[in-house]
DNA sequence: CGCCTACTTGAATTCCTTCAACGAATGTGG
DNA sequence: CCACATTCGTTGAAGGAATTCAAGTAGGCG
């Protein structure tokens, strides 16, 4: 993953769509620097982890025909809160945050969507949140109407969608417990560990962790403030739990103790 | 709904199952005081609001054959955290709470499940929470394996299940925002209003609201403590927002102002 | 080089929790 | 029938964790 810069992330709400619902076809050739588009879904880098992964050739073709691919620059919006919720999306590269804004400006980050993960399963007619790229990202959208039609033809595609929605329920449930019953240090520890396992998998404890999002994003994800996030990170550093070579890089110095903290042992540090 | 008593709700973890997966059939006759069982699903009181609602006769029969009905006395558990998550359930009468326990005893109530609503969509192999009745309740469970089989035969049943899971995603999302970004008075106001609309629908503002759950349940749902819930209710009462004829009954005195509070206007009261 | 943004740190304040006591309602056993 | 134990709910006082307000630092970019 490309490390982002601490500063200078201008708010730009522009997105470019590459191929749309009508014209896109897996075999159509797009710009040379974008190998993914050349072979369409077949060469998609998250194909193994996606619901498309287990598809037969004809199913994949049907999906490819309805999908819409968007390239987002950093801090661009794919859609806004209130837009018609007519499609399910997956991130193929980059990182997307789902953000709910309250009337008085308070902000809740509902989720960071990593490559291979899905979002937009909500049932409401309009999205209850906006989807914004944290870093330059590529997103693939599938219209619900098209999915429903294809699901009629390929029943187990539908079951896979059901499974994805249910995975999302588990994720949200963890988030609820985190916000409802964990102290801020616990929340931050859990966040770092969760994020590390997504980024680095089994190597999470050894590899340095890049945090592409801003402090404000972390704070709004954890239900707290930038200041508290900064303070708690400093606290972790002083306790030798982590070190911070730069503000976007976390090196784990005592992974086990951080795990214990995330599990709720000595929640005040 | 039967009002519960303030005190003396002994913890009883016993449940009776009426009819099981193998032997139950819609036409089988059970005790005379239980009219619902006599006609099976056809006479189910939540049939209109359930996913069974739109079913054809044969679909309903297929569902009836795999379903398992349980009667729970107050504070009984349908299942515990860690039990194999092999079925989706619906509450047909009463009220069920889904509870997640942390290692050190902290408790998070994930949801109160009202009649006609579903739970257990989670994808994990084991439940991440226990399901307990708040008041005497009847719950109907459908094994996932059986559902998957039936869905192969009736594809739009599967789409309806998908829709239910997605509704649940929306609900949880609101809960996340509530816990992450709302003050305690805001959370409690939102809780009362949400609950009132479930119980009394359009009449919510005029009808008194019965709260069958304990203060501790409300507190653990809202991520706070019993004392704070009691204090905040007193606060609402002093501000003429509500009155409390008994500890389980809320009468709305200024519904609009309570709505405004829940929306975030003047969150500290 | 200076501006802008993000991040960090400090001090004061606020909100909420914790600890403790008390009242009300229910159920039990003598 | 009444004393007693138990549980739930309410209220008060003290303490603490996190927020708010404010200032200062660091790094990137024009």
pLDDT tens, position by position, B46-100: 565 566 665 666 777 777 788 889 999 999 999 999 999 999 999 999 999 999 9
| A29 inside 8 A of chain B by CB | no
Strand C bases near protein CB (under 7 Å) are 4-11, 14-20, 24-27
More confident residue, B269 or A191: A191
Q: Give me A213's structure tokens.
A: 């999002």
State the pLDDT at residue A170. 96
Residues in A 139-168 with any Cβ partner in B closer than 8 A: 148, 151-152, 155, 158-159, 161-163, 165-168
Strand blocks (E) in chain B? 15-18, 68-72, 77-79, 87-101, 107-113, 118-119, 130-143, 209-210, 242-246, 249-252
Please check whether residue B172 touches A, CB under 8 A: yes
DSSP structural state of residue B266: T
pLDDT at site A168: 95
pLDDT for the residue A10 = 36
Nearest by CB to residue B170, choosing from A124, A155, A223, is: A124
Query: What's the pLDDT score for residue B7?
Result: 41
pLDDT of residue B2: 34
The set of residues with CB closer than 7 Å to nucleic strand D is A 5-8, 183-185, 223-225, 227-228, 231, 268; B 6-9, 214-216, 226-227, 229-231, 233-234, 244, 247-248
Protein-proximal positions, strand D, CB < 7 A: 6-13, 16-22, 26-29
Provide the pLDDT for residue A243.
Answer: 94
pLDDT at A4: 38
pLDDT digits (tens, 9 = 90+) for B189-245: 999 999 999 988 888 889 999 999 999 999 999 999 999 999 999 999 999 999 999
Give the model confidence (pLDDT) of B16-58 as tens digits.
Answer: 333 333 333 333 223 333 334 434 565 566 565 566 665 666 7
Size of interface A-B (CB pairs under 8 A): 134
Which DSSP string corresponds to chain A? -PPPPSS-------EEEES-TTT--TT----TT-HHHHSGGGG-TTTTTSGGGG--HHHHHHHHHH-EEEEE-TT-EEE-TTSB--EEEEEEEEEEEEEEE-TTS-EEEEEEE-TT-EE----SSB-SSEEEEEEEEEEEEEEHHHHHHHHHH-HHHHHHHHHHHHHHHHHHHHHHHHHHH--HHHHHHHHHHHHHHHHHGGGTTTS-EE--S-HHHHHHHHTS-HHHHHHHHHHHHHTTSEEEEETTEEEES-HHHHHHHHTTTTTT-
pTM of the model: 0.85
Which pLDDT score is estimated for B137? 93
CA distance B204 to chain A (A): 22
pLDDT by residue for chain A (269 residues), tens only, comes to 333 334 433 333 333 343 333 333 333 223 333 334 434 565 565 565 566 665 666 777 777 888 899 999 999 999 999 999 999 999 999 999 999 999 999 999 999 999 989 999 999 999 999 999 999 999 999 999 998 888 888 877 888 889 999 999 999 999 999 999 999 999 999 999 999 999 888 888 899 999 999 999 999 999 999 999 999 999 999 999 999 999 999 999 999 999 999 987 765 55
Residue B19: predicted pLDDT: 34
Put simply, the answer to whether B100 touches A165 (Cβ < 8 Å) is: no
Question: Does the structure show a pLDDT above 80 at B10?
Answer: no
Distance of CA A90 to the CA centre of its chain: 9
What's the pLDDT score for residue A61? 78
B118-154 pLDDT, tens per residue?
Answer: 999 999 999 999 999 999 999 999 999 998 888 888 8
Per-residue burial over B232-269, b = 16 or more CB atoms within 10 Å of its CB, e = otherwise: bbebbeeeebbeeeeebebebeebebbeebbbbeebee
Which run of H or E residues covers position B184?
helix B184-200
């Amino acid at each position: 993953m490309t490390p982002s810069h601490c500063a200078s992330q201008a708010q730009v709400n522009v997105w470019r769509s590459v191929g749309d619902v009508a014209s896109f076809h897996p075999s159509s050739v797009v710009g040379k620097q974008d190998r993914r588009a050349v072979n369409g879904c077949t060469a998609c880098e998250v194909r193994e982890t996606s619901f498309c992964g287990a598809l037969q050739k004809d199913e994949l073709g049907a999906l490819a025909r309805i999908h819409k691919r968007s390239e987002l620059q950093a801090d661009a919006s794919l859609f806004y809160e209130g837009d018609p919720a007519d499609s399910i999306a997956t991130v193929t590269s980059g990182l997307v945050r789902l953000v709910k804004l309250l009337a008085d400006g308070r902000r809740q980050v509902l989720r960071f969507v990593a490559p291979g993960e899905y979002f937009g399963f909500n049932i409401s007619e309009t999205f209850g949140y906006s989807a914004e790229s944290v870093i330059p990202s590529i997103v693939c959208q599938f219209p619900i109407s098209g999915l429903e039609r294809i699901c009629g033809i390929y029943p187990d595609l539908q079951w896979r969608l059901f499974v994805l929605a249910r995975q999302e329920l588990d994720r949200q449930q963890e988030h609820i417990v985190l916000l409802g019953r964990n102290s801020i240090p616990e929340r931050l520890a859990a966040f770092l560990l969760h994020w590390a396992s997504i980024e680095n998998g089994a190597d999470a404890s050894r590899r340095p962790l890049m945090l592409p999002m801003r402090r404000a994003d972390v704070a709004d994800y954890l239900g707290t403030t930038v200041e508290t996030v900064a303070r708690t990170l400093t606290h972790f550093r002083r306790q030798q739990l982590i070190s911070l070579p730069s503000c976007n890089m976390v090196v784990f110095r005592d992974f086990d103790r951080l795990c214990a903290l995330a599990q709720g042992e000595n929640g005040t540090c």
